[in-house]
Structure 1
Amino acid sequence: MSSEKTEKDLAKDLKKGENAGKDDPQWASGLKRLYDQVVDEPLPDNFKDLLSKLDENGGK
């Protein structure tokens, strides 16, 4: 059996995600909001510069 998810499995997971949070404890929704805020934060300029330098040096 393959370990990759089928389209049907992915659709089920998406459906679960739509229903997530309805029965979650209050702290869970706060944690999810915090996570979403962190993910939406822009990448700091000094971190972008560091990544550029790594790309220029071939990751060395």
Structure 2
Amino acid sequence: MIDREAKGETSRGGRKTDLGSTDAIASQLKQFYTSVEEEPIPDHLLGLLEKLDEAERSGGSNGAN
């Protein structure tokens, strides 16, 4: 009998999974999310956040009491 763990494979729900492929996908996803985190915040969103900060500083009500 072949030892799947020794080959880096496991069975999930009846499907054989290659752990090397899983690691490669995880690595690519991590790189993608890291690049998204490093993107600058768009100016229109910064403007909205500034308006929100101003409303909170001036004691404005947001309708939730």
> What TM-score, normalized by structure 2, do the two folds share?
0.53
Normalized per residue, which structure has more helix? 1
Q: Mark the runs of 5 or more structure 2 residues left unpaired by the alignment.
A: 1-19
Give % identity. 45
Match of 2:28 among 11, 27, 30: 30
Q: Which has the higher strand share?
A: 2
Segments ≥4 residues shifted beyond 3 Å: none
Which of the two has higher C-alpha Rg?
Answer: 2
RMSD: 1.9
Q: TM-score, normalised by structure 1?
A: 0.57
Q: Give 5+ residue unaligned stretches, structure 1.
A: 1-22
